[in-house]
Amino acid sequence: MLAAFIQDLAAMGRSCFSFEDIEKLKGSSPLAIKAALRRLHKKGGIAMPYRGFYVIVPPEYREAGCLPPEQFIPDLMDHLGEVYYAGLLSAAEYHGAAHQRPQVFQVIVAKGRRPIRCGKMRVEFIFRKNAAMIPTEPKNTPAGILKIATPEATALDLIGYVGHCAGLDNVATVLNELAEKIDAGRLLQMAELSPIAWVQRLGYLIELVGAHEKAEGIAGYIQKKRPVRTPLAPALGIKGAKMESRWRVFVNTQVEPDL
């Protein structure tokens, strides 16, 4: 009965299901269902990235042990009833700006959540309190539609969560490739949804990689707000650091993008 249920789901183009979905099947006890799920899981026909949530694993993904995260994250987050979007280096890759393929799929969420592993696939959840307000755009995948951060949202998130992005050198490298997709007006709108220190650091790095025209809108924003001076690298001290007056940033580290 479970095999027929999974075949029906696949025929409808669905790749995920929950334990509650199967419980609705007539003629099966919860114990029998759990036993059937364990057998199928052991054979590699399904994966369980989250308790009670299952991913159908077609033959071509059996070695990986799971579908790519982009194909099950939308269903998982819908199952959990949570806000999400693919962000940081994962979003940058969709925008054609990943310097190298990320080793982990990065998802921004409005509620703290532990990372998960599904077969060889890893997913990292990064908390952003106002994730529901951040602009996204749809991305078609073989399993449906994935929400990804816009180029402008991606740029600011890269700065805000630099520790998840292999450091400032890598962030600057990605920004160099992402800059052509950034709209200065939309970047200004996004700036108003972000901590102003992120905007200051982003403005400095955008100019560092030579995309001066993309930074004009947020330069005016910084001029108007006149925020507290902020270090480019928050974890480092500012003693002896040069002050970049346009962005009110202490340049307390040397950034070397791979241009």
What DSSP line would sit under 47-72, residue for residue? EEEETTEEEE--GGGTTTTS--HHHH
User: Distance between alpha carbon 172 and the CA centroid of its chain, in Å?
Assistant: 18
Give the CATH number of domain 2-61: 1.10.10.10
Statement: residue 252 has pLDDT above 80: yes
Rg of the chain on CA atoms, in Å = 22
Task: Name the band, by pLDDT with cuts 50, 70 and 90, for residue 21.
Answer: confident
Task: Classify burial at 244, counting beta carbons within 10 Å of its beta carbon; exposed 0-12, middle 13-18, buried 19 or more.
Answer: middle
**26 CB-near residues (< 8 Å, 6+ apart):** none
Q: What are 39-86's pLDDT values in tens digits?
A: 999 999 999 999 999 999 999 999 999 999 999 999 999 999 999 999
Whole-angstrom distance, CA of residue 143 vs CA of residue 17 = 13
Query: What is the chain's mean pLDDT, rounded?
Result: 94
Contact 1, 27 (CB under 8 A): yes
Question: At 54, phi and psi to the nearest 5?
Answer: -125, 145
pLDDT score at 10: 82
More confident residue, 40 or 259: 40
Instruction: Sheet containing 121-127: give its strands across.
Output: 116-118, 121-127, 105-109, 84-86, 144-149, 136-141
Task: Name the band, by pLDDT with cuts 50, 70 and 90, for residue 180.
Answer: very high
Task: Report the share of the chain in percent with pLDDT over 90.
Answer: 83
Q: Is 254 helix (H, G, I), strand (E, B) or coil?
A: coil
**33 CB-near residues (< 8 Å, 6+ apart):** 2, 19, 22, 23, 25
Q: What are 113-163's pLDDT values in tens digits?
A: 999 999 999 999 999 999 999 999 999 998 889 999 999 999 999 999 999
Specify the pTM.
0.94
Domain coordinates of the chain in residue numbers? 2-61, 168-259
Whole-angstrom distance, CA of residue 164 vs CA of residue 58 = 31
